[in-house]
Structure 1
């Protein structure tokens, strides 16, 4: 589980969520996107098992 301070860190939440989607849900074609409320820019988020990090890809 995550600590309370970890739950307040959006980077940790993004990593854990994308990791969960990649390792547990495993639905082909299911992708995670993040939208910046200020700029309107969208980024695809993908979990990288090799580095244990989220790889953002601008759309």
Structure 2
């Protein structure tokens, strides 16, 4: 089995700003792929953040 190169994204993102966080994730994925990574790992809830309170309905995915 060939080795799998992984990359890690260490970032807390912008709380509640999914579009901005997707941009960060896209750029990180491009850098990781260019460096030979086959997988990019991001923090749990990176796209929305943890403390979203009343924004939970707005940020929920269908």
Shorter chain as normaliser: what TM range?
0.3 to 0.5
Larger Rg: 2
Higher relative contact order (CA 8 A, sep 6+): 2
* Higher strand fraction (1 or 2): 1
Give the TM-score normalised by structure 2.
0.31
Higher helix share: 2
